[in-house]
């Protein structure tokens, strides 16, 4: 069965539902996806705090008697009266009654009598709840605990957080032509690339994955891989072995292991061969062998579906409008994803054709950071035209 891109996305979404949830220590939460809104449980700050090192005092006098001092986390005088001052350090609680804090460099301390310049009420004092009040939404459900979110959880004093479970992904590659970089090169053979495409993006998005290995193009080896992997992984991803020339025995393997084929191809270029099959407890995604087609399918179809299954609310790559700096060729009547090089100039996005769009070419991906989305009604575009571009990175 062949489906268009919209149908493929919907079927993938249904086949890869959002995982369940679990509570974990905040210390183990980096890279996970929050399954709860994170709300503040108190005011920030929860006391009036000094914004400077200086003298807390009540307005109205010029000279004050030094009553003591206090620092952040240290006890000192809790209140003052008229004519008194307390030296407070940055971040320390301001004594009750104090109206302002004068910077130490603006004052003169003469044996416990401090001369303080005129100030306004509240000057250099951080008010209770000034940053946020109790019950404020700090981090939304579905957010990744990234390098910016992770320390905020500690700032808020969270000991545990509820996160989405991570579906376990098993990866294998097929093909008699595959070499590893440790192997001696042989003409006509190719080095394993798709494994490392997956490793790069799966690591970026915090997926739980394992590389099962290289499976030869034979019914026995493919069947053996499915027998072992189907009960071990929630999701199986393969590359190669699903082109029309190799496809018949894979269908037989699916039938033997109770997989239902949901679709076999999609109407996109490059990367039309994309197979989705499912059985109870496991979903199989069969992807093309050419690295360019593999990458395109991964970015457009597979990664958004996997990110959603991991609980990420923002699971699609950002799409922007960009101005072409070069021509780019495409055929009307089909959806094409052309490799592009995106730049930002004066707040505007510009994109250049990567120079080759052949499915058999891959080197250009070293500089590609976007995919031009050219729908069935678009066809080729010229320099100066506008196009939608999926941002891989920028």
**Phi, psi (deg, nearest 5) at residue 272:** -60, -40
Q: Are residues 177 and 255 both part of a single domain?
A: yes
Q: In which region does residue 216 sit, left (phi positive, over 0), alpha (psi from -120 to 50) or beta (all else)?
A: beta
Enter the pTM of the model. 0.88
Residue 44 in any domain: the answer is no
Residue 56 in any domain: the answer is yes
Q: Are residues 337 and 305 both part of a single domain?
A: no
Q: How many CB atoms lie within 10 A of CB 249?
A: 15
CA distance 307 to 316: 8
262-284 residues labelled b (16+ CB within 10 A) or e (exposed): bbbbbbbbbbbbbbbbbeeebbb
CATH of the domain at 386: 2.40.340.10
Q: Are residues 114 and 214 both part of a single domain?
A: no
* Strand ranges, E, within 280-329: 282-287, 319-324
Contacts of residue 390, Cβ cutoff 8 Å, sequence gap at least 6: 299, 300, 317, 318, 319, 337, 370, 371, 373
Torsion, Cα 72 73 78 84, to 10 degrees, reads -30
The two tokens of residue 262 are: 């949901």
- Looking up tokens 């108190």 gives 42
CA distance 142 to 68: 48
Q: Are residues 278 and 171 both part of a single domain?
A: yes
CA distance 394 to 381: 22
Residue 276 in any domain: the answer is yes
Residue numbers of the domain that contains 152: 24-37+140-164
Q: Are residues 339 and 223 both part of a single domain?
A: no
Q: Is 255 helix (H, G, I), strand (E, B) or coil?
A: helix
**In angstroms, how far is the first alpha carbon of the chain from the final one?**
36
The two tokens of residue 269 are: 């270029």
Domain count for the chain, please give it.
4
Q: Are residues 242 and 328 both part of a single domain?
A: no
β 370-374/282-287 pair status? unpaired
Q: Are residues 199 and 298 both part of a single domain?
A: yes
CA distance 356 to 368: 11
Residue 134 in any domain: the answer is no
The H-or-E segment that residue 13 falls in is helix 5-15
- Looking up tokens 């052309």 gives 338
Whether the CB-CB separation of 149 and 191 falls below 8 Å is answered with no
Q: Are residues 289 and 241 both part of a single domain?
A: yes
Residue 352 in any domain: the answer is yes
Among the candidates 262, 281, 309, a domain finishes at 309
- DSSP assigned state of 151: H
Residue 90 in any domain: the answer is yes
Q: Are residues 343 and 325 both part of a single domain?
A: yes
Q: How many CB atoms lie within 10 A of CB 14?
A: 12
CA distance 65 to 116: 11
CA distance 130 to 50: 12
Residue 248: its pLDDT value, please?
59
CATH of the domain at 96: 2.170.190.11
Among 110, 122, 3, which Cα is nearest to 52's?
Answer: 122
Among the candidates 309, 331, 348, a domain finishes at 309
Residue 314 in any domain: the answer is no
CATH of the domain at 242: 3.40.980.10
Q: Are residues 225 and 252 both part of a single domain?
A: yes
Q: Is 371 helix (H, G, I), strand (E, B) or coil?
A: strand
pLDDT tens string, the chain, 394 residues long: the values are 899 999 999 999 999 999 999 999 999 999 999 999 999 999 999 999 999 999 999 999 999 999 999 988 878 899 999 999 999 999 999 999 999 999 999 999 999 999 999 999 999 999 999 999 999 999 999 999 999 999 999 999 999 999 999 999 999 998 888 899 999 999 999 999 999 999 999 999 999 999 999 988 888 888 899 999 999 999 999 998 655 445 557 777 888 889 999 999 999 999 888 999 999 999 999 999 999 999 999 999 999 999 999 999 999 999 999 999 999 999 998 899 999 999 999 999 999 999 999 999 999 999 999 999 999 999 999 999 999 999 998 6
Q: Are residues 255 and 385 both part of a single domain?
A: no
Q: Are residues 170 and 303 both part of a single domain?
A: yes
The two tokens of residue 209 are: 């994955």
Whether the CB-CB separation of 263 and 2 falls below 8 Å is answered with yes
Residue 144 in any domain: the answer is yes
Q: Is 370 helix (H, G, I), strand (E, B) or coil?
A: strand
């Amino acid at each position: 069965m062949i489906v268009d891109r919209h149908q493929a996305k919907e079927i993938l979404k249904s086949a890869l539902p959002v995982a369940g949830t679990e509570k974990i220590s905040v210390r183990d939460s980096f890279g996970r996806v929050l399954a709860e809104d994170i709300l503040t449980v108190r005011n920030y700050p929860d006391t009036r705090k000094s914004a400077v090192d200086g003298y807390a005092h009540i307005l109205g006098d010029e000279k004050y008697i030094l009553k003591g001092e206090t620092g952040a986390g240290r006890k000192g005088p809790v209140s003052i009266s008229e004519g008194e001052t307390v030296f407070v350090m940055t971040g320390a609680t301001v004594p009750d009654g104090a109206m302002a804090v004068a910077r130490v460099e603006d004052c003169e301390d003469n044996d416990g009598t401090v001369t303080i310049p005129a100030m306004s009420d509240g000057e250099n004092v951080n008010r209770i709840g000034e940053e946020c009040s109790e019950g404020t939404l700090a981090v939304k459900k579905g957010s990744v605990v990234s390098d910016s979110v992770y320390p905020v959880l500690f700032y808020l004093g969270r000991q545990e957080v509820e996160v989405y479970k991570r579906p376990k992904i098993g990866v294998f590659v097929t093909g008699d032509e595959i070499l590893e970089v440790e192997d001696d090169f042989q003409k006509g053979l190719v080095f394993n690339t798709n494994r490392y495409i997956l490793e790069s993006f799966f690591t970026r998005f915090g997926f739980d994955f394992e590389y099962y290995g290289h499976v030869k193009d034979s019914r026995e080896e493919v069947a053996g891989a499915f027998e072992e992997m189907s009960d071990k992984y929630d999701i199986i991803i393969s590359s190669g072995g699903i082109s029309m020339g190799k496809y018949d025995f894979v269908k037989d393997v699916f039938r033997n292991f109770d997989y239902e084929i949901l679709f076999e191809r999609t109407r996109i270029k490059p990367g039309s061969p994309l197979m989705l099959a499912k059985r109870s407890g496991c979903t199989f995604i069969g992807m093309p062998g050419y690295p360019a087609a593999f990458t395109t399918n991964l970015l457009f179809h597979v990664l958004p579906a996997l990110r959603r299954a991991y609980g990420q609310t923002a699971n699609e790559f950002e799409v922007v409008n960009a101005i072409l700096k070069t021509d780019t060729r495409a055929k009307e009547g089909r959806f094409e994803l052309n490799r592009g090089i995106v730049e930002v100039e004066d707040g505007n996005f510009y994109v250049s054709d990567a120079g080759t769009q052949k499915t058999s070419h891959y080197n250009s991906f070293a500089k590609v950071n976007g995919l031009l989305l050219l729908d069935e009604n678009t066809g080729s575009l010229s320099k100066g035209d506008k196009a939608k571009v999926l941002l891989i990175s920028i």
